[in-house]
Amino acid sequence: MDKQLIKSLAQVVGEQYTLADRESLACYGYDSTPELESRPGVVVLPGNQEEIGKVLALCHGAGVRVTPRGSGTNLSGGSISFDGGVILQTSRLNRIIEIDEENLTATVEPGVVTSALHREVEAKGLFYPPDPGSMNISTMGGNVAENSGGLRGLKYGVTADYVMGLKTFLADGELLKTGGKVVKDVAGYNLNQLLVSSEGTLGVFSEITVKLIPKPQCKKTMLVHFPQLEQAALTVSQIIAARIIPATLEFLDRVTIKCVEDYAHVGLPLDVDAVLLIEVDGHPAVVEEEAAGIRAICERQGCSFFQTAATADEALKLATARRVALSALARLRPTTILEDATVPRSAIAPMVKLIQETARKYDLTIGTFGHAGDGNLHPTCLTDERNRDEIERAHRAFAEIFEATIAMGGTITGEHGVGVAKKKYLPLLVGNAGLRVMRGIKGALDPNGILNPGKIF
């Protein structure tokens, strides 16, 4: 990395927030993606919005590549700089600028942690639904860049459904304002939605305005066991067919159930194929009615166990199995490959079966849990990075799983992004036309290709 550029960057963000020593760079060579690592040339942490623009202008001028990063929890290698470029970490920009109770919006800086926003708006009786698994540390900037989902996706949608306005610094440091607080806005292209899930390749957000909704008055939590996978899958379809949209409709498969039970001893039986965690929320009367409807459907499908939480404490207890699923799996082996293959809801049962068969075929341990309601599954392969042969088998297995996902009308990534990890599968999904359009957009907004190069396509 050019010494003069480092000096200039330090003049913008301060010496203290310009990191170029070996040890610091070693700590910014990874995010949450297994197996991927590459050291950047320098790391900068701007302290205000203008500094983002200045950093980009400097890098644009010098032809140096920039990778934006929040807390580094990306699962597709999206926040790693693979060519010794600049890492631009937005964590210091962590102000909640405004919660507008008349327009029901919140305006935040990109470094605000998702759960911090949850706390602030919920204290005012409002609700920001997107709740990615990493919400206690993931940043709003990262959530918008990756279009993060979460457990509440089925009923409440994903980050994209809440983004109303953005301030984005473009590759050359110019500020672009899109959208705002108005619900209806058809002036020109919908650039907000273009920037959402752009994975840091089109610009760096400096301000984000999201829609808020009233906080649901109450919720009811249910835990259900099914001897057969098909029973669970049919239950999911029939709940939706009965015009009930649960806030949460989560699924654990047999491997995950065993791991959870070994780890947390929550009393799960080891002879069932599937466990569903279901939550309905809203007006108390509606919640009652929906919970009763769900119970009837589960029983009709032959569930072997059905429990409704009577208190908030009990609800927390019922949710434990799902909450600790990733921990329980991850503890088993050193390396955890967490994927997010997503299929239409109706294809859940064949998809889970296919994952299990593929695991057997390649002699792997893959536990599957996830958001059954929206078809977003997390097949999680437990392996050891030191065992190259097993890692190779894992890659081959996932290649088959992704191809099957596409064949079933699903997608290679429901919420983790393409980054570099899924790059090779993207052409299968979007085809030549898709790639041509994406490359065209990238070229128009970032002609020199300095923003998070090598990601997506």
Is the separation of the CB atoms in 455 and 201 below 8 Å? yes
Indicate whether 342 belongs to the interface with other proteins (CB under 8 A). Answer: no
In angstroms, give the least distance from the CB of 252 to other proteins.
Answer: 16
Indicate whether 353 belongs to the interface with other proteins (CB under 8 A). Answer: no
Total of chain residues touching other proteins, rule CB under 8 A: 36
**H helix or E strand, kind and range, residue 211:** strand 204-211
Task: Choose the stretch contacting other proteins; rule: CB under 8 A; options: 53-61, 165-173, 308-316, 380-388.
Answer: 380-388
Binders of other proteins in range 392-451 (CB under 8 A):
none
> How do 218-226 and 274-282 pair as beta strands?
antiparallel
Task: Choose the stretch contacting other proteins; rule: CB under 8 A; options: 109-117, 188-196, 233-241, 417-425.
Answer: 109-117
In angstroms, give the least distance from the CB of 27 to other proteins.
Answer: 4
In angstroms, give the least distance from the CB of 198 to other proteins.
Answer: 22
Indicate whether 335 belongs to the interface with other proteins (CB under 8 A). Answer: yes
Indicate whether 391 belongs to the interface with other proteins (CB under 8 A). Answer: no
Indicate whether 211 belongs to the interface with other proteins (CB under 8 A). Answer: no
Instruction: Determine which residue in the list 125, 267, 334, 431 makes contact with other proteins, applying CB under 8 A.
Output: 334
Instruction: Determine which residue in the list 10, 14, 24, 258 makes contact with other proteins, applying CB under 8 A.
Output: 24
Instruction: Determine which residue in the list 12, 13, 30, 152 makes contact with other proteins, applying CB under 8 A.
Output: 30
In angstroms, give the least distance from the CB of 240 to other proteins.
Answer: 31
Q: Which of 168, 174, 164, 176 is nearest to 98 (CA)?
A: 164
Nearer to other proteins, 237 or 335 (CB): 335
What is the per-residue DSSP string for 291-357? HHHHHHHHHHTT-SEEEE-SSHHHHHHHHHHHHTHHHHHHTTSSEEEE---B--GGGHHHHHHHHHH
Indicate whether 312 belongs to the interface with other proteins (CB under 8 A). Answer: no
- Which tokens belong to 180? 């705002």
**What span, in angstroms and rounded, lies between the C-alpha atoms of 99 and 107?**
6
Indicate whether 316 belongs to the interface with other proteins (CB under 8 A). Answer: no
Indicate whether 339 belongs to the interface with other proteins (CB under 8 A). Answer: no
Nearer to other proteins, 45 or 280 (CB): 45
Task: Choose the stretch contacting other proteins; rule: CB under 8 A; options: 102-110, 177-185, 239-247, 323-331.
Answer: 323-331
Instruction: Determine which residue in the list 330, 406, 435, 441 makes contact with other proteins, applying CB under 8 A.
Output: 330
- Positive or negative, the CA dihedral 422, 163, 205, 187 is positive
String of b and e for 193-226 (b: at least 16 CB within 10 Å)? eebbbbbbbbbbbbbbbbbbeeebeebbbbbbbb
Nearer to other proteins, 43 or 224 (CB): 43
Binders of other proteins in range 57-96 (CB under 8 A):
71-73, 89, 91-92
Looking at residue 451, the DSSP 8-state letter turns out to be B
Q: Which of 40, 28, 38, 30 is nearest to 1 (CA)?
A: 40
Q: Which residue has the tokens 């299968």?
A: 428
In angstroms, give the least distance from the CB of 345 to other proteins.
Answer: 27
Nearer to other proteins, 326 or 352 (CB): 326
In angstroms, give the least distance from the CB of 391 to other proteins.
Answer: 13
Q: Which of 284, 413, 402 is nearest to 354 (CA)?
A: 402
Indicate whether 31 belongs to the interface with other proteins (CB under 8 A). Answer: yes
| Burial class of residue 176, CB neighbours in 10 A (0-12, 13-18, 19+) | middle
Q: Which of 106, 105, 27 is nearest to 69 (CA)?
A: 27
Is the separation of the CB atoms in 95 and 101 below 8 Å? no
Indicate whether 260 belongs to the interface with other proteins (CB under 8 A). Answer: no
Indicate whether 327 belongs to the interface with other proteins (CB under 8 A). Answer: yes
**What span, in angstroms and rounded, lies between the C-alpha atoms of 176 and 195?**
11
Indicate whether 125 belongs to the interface with other proteins (CB under 8 A). Answer: no
Task: Choose the stretch contacting other proteins; rule: CB under 8 A; options: 95-103, 107-115, 363-371, 394-402.
Answer: 107-115
Residue type, 297: I
Indicate whether 137 belongs to the interface with other proteins (CB under 8 A). Answer: yes
**What span, in angstroms and rounded, lies between the C-alpha atoms of 192 and 178?**
6
Length of the chain: 457
In angstroms, give the least distance from the CB of 22 to other proteins.
Answer: 7
Instruction: Determine which residue in the list 83, 98, 385, 403 makes contact with other proteins, applying CB under 8 A.
Output: 385
- Which tokens belong to 224? 């259900």
Positions touching other proteins (CB under 8 A) are 19, 21-24, 26-28, 30-34, 45, 71-73, 89, 91-92, 111, 113, 115, 134, 136-137, 326-327, 330-331, 334-336, 384-386
